[in-house]
Structure 1
Amino acid sequence: MDTANISQCSEVTLKCFLLSRFQRAIGQQGTLGEIPLNRSKDSARVLYLSAIALKLAKTWQQTPQTIAAQLAETLEPLCYPDFAVKVAPAGIIELELTDPGLAVWLQRLAQTNLPLPESRILSPVVSADRLFPIQYSHARCCSLLRMAHRDRIISIAQPDVATAPQIWSLAAPNPIPWIDDGDRLRLVHPAERSLISQLLTVLDNLYPIFEVKNREKPVNYFKLAKSLSEAFQIFYSQCQIWGEVKIEQPQLAQARLGLILATQSLLRFILENFLNAIAPLEL
């Protein structure tokens, strides 16, 4: 990873954040090129796996287990409190996002504009009928946020914008109550976890556009937006915000609206900047 981009990337994606920590942990001993880092497919957890110790074993002339233990010891304070670090069999380093850490990243995603790369490759032209479900999801996000503002579940700082905002700034609650009094994430429904997983997957797949060396690596923007749109529709059909939830669990309703904020932000980012399409307020 290019060191010139670490300060920017570390605030954009989890993958950038972890790669920068790995680079600091490895120090001046060399990385043999790219650092292997992949996310587990388990949507119930946000778990990253790295086989960097296996890659370094020959150069460092140590066993993968020994190298992994050394790196994990160095990584732990660098990643705290966002990630818990441990060594799995065969020298694989596991980094699992904690609930408080996930809350921080969700808050950032819901309330911070993604930086637009200076140079970018637009997606091939996508037909209007294929774009429509994605645009519909964006419009539905906007509609739900306006309804929640009117019902005083949340307070949007500037709700009467003429066009769809990239980020709707929340006046309240701020921060969004992602976690409960026991520091556990409120969002535990499978559809919530699936949407969270897809949000992070989109960010990880957008990672090359924020990293100088990989900026020409192709990214299937339509596929990313389509998958996020589908995850949102499932979430919306299974996770209530109004009715009993609004009355008895208002903070859960606000956390679910936080997911909608994050989804709206990412859908608009991809639609307008990479699919050359409108992100409508309503349809």
Structure 2
Amino acid sequence: MNYPGYSLRLWLLQEIARLVPLPTETISLYLLKYHPSIIYRSRVLSQLTQDDPGAIAFALVHGWNYPNVEIELTANFALDFKVGDRLVALWLEKVYHSTLNNFSVFSSSSVFKILPQFFPLQYSHARCCAWLRQLHQQGVITNNGSIPSLEPYAVALIELLPCLNPKDKDLLLSLVAFCDSSPENLLSSSNNLALAVLNFERYEGIWRNKPNLIGVRALLLILAQSNLQYLLETQLLVGAPREL
């Protein structure tokens, strides 16, 4: 995990480890791609060859005390953990508030060297900043990144998350994947995030569909901008331009 401390996968791993006799770092758990919901799949049952998979599955399902995460046993004895909207809303609120201390899309942009190998990341970051400045001009966000229409955040997000369109959900899923990233797949998840940012505006638009979702989309953009800035400046040690 690279982005400071907000991995849904790590939280799930810790909870699964309470119910199975395996160290957290050895438990199989991965985020499903190309799915409209946030679902993690685990093949932990196949890792417990000395035990009865059916009994372990029963213990997991009936020992699970988190109503915001549903467990389903697949036909090939994998376990799917579907993260509900309430937990996603709480996660979004937590990550969002962690970004506000470094919210800086309005400060003057230094001259950065644009590197071909990182251009998609730098370009997506600059586009996030441009969209956020436009949202600020429209009164959707304040100077410090607050979003008045979403207060109280968790309550509003729980109501609005079911209304997201496919490109909104793609961006959300990419943000979740980025926060889950390990060092070996950080660049891959970052490129996916950059692509999701561009598709988010290109195909659906931030403002055109369902005006009541503008606040949620602003929040997703703030998280994308913060993640991309963190990656470029802290991990890749290159500039994060605010405009191109």
TM-score range, shorter-chain basis? Answer: 0.7 to 0.9
2:80 aligned counterpart, secondary structure: strand
For residues 51-90 of structure 1, give each alpha carbon's deviation from its aligned partner in whole angstroms, at most 9, with x where no partner exists.
21222240xx4x2011111012112x1x332x11232334
Residue of 208, 232, 235 corresponding to 1:271: 232
TM-score, length-scaled by structure 1: 0.71
For residues 149-186 of structure 1, give each alpha carbon's deviation from its aligned partner in whole angstroms, at most 9, with x where no partner exists.
221123243xxxxxxxxxx4546533173343xx7522
What is the match of residue 189 of structure 2? 224
Distance in structure 2 (CA, Å) of the matches to 1:10 and 1:25:
26
Residue of 157, 165, 178 corresponding to 2:157: 178
Distance in structure 1 (CA, Å) of the matches to 2:179 and 2:39:
15
What is the match of residue 48 of structure 1? 40
Task: List gaps (5 residues or longer) in structure 1.
Answer: 115-125, 158-167, 209-217
What is the match of residue 58 of structure 2? 69
- How far residue 141 of structure 1 moved from its aligned partner, in angstroms, is 1.0
Distance in structure 2 (CA, Å) of the matches to 1:184 and 1:198:
15
TM-score, length-scaled by structure 2: 0.81
The answer as to whether partners of 2:124 and 2:198 remain within 8 angstroms in 1 is yes
Q: What is the Cα-based RMSD across aligned positions, in Å?
A: 2.9
Q: 1:42 to 1:222 in 2, by over 3 A?
A: closer
* 1:25 equivalenced with 2:12 (yes/no): no
What is the one-letter code of the residue matched to 2:138? Answer: D
Which is further off, 221-230 or 191-200?
221-230
Aligned-pair identity (%): 27
2:18 aligned counterpart, secondary structure: helix
The answer as to whether partners of 2:122 and 2:239 remain within 8 angstroms in 1 is yes
1:112 aligned counterpart, secondary structure: helix
Distance in structure 2 (CA, Å) of the matches to 1:264 and 1:146:
12
- How far residue 33 of structure 1 moved from its aligned partner, in angstroms, is 6.5
The answer as to whether partners of 1:57 and 1:67 remain within 8 angstroms in 2 is no
Q: 1:143 to 1:184 in 2, by over 3 A?
A: closer
Residue of 141, 144, 158 corresponding to 1:154: 141
Q: 1:30 to 1:109 in 2, by over 3 A?
A: closer
Q: 1:90 to 1:134 in 2, by over 3 A?
A: closer
Q: How many residues align?
A: 229
- How far residue 268 of structure 1 moved from its aligned partner, in angstroms, is 0.8
Q: 1:173 to 1:127 in 2, by over 3 A?
A: closer
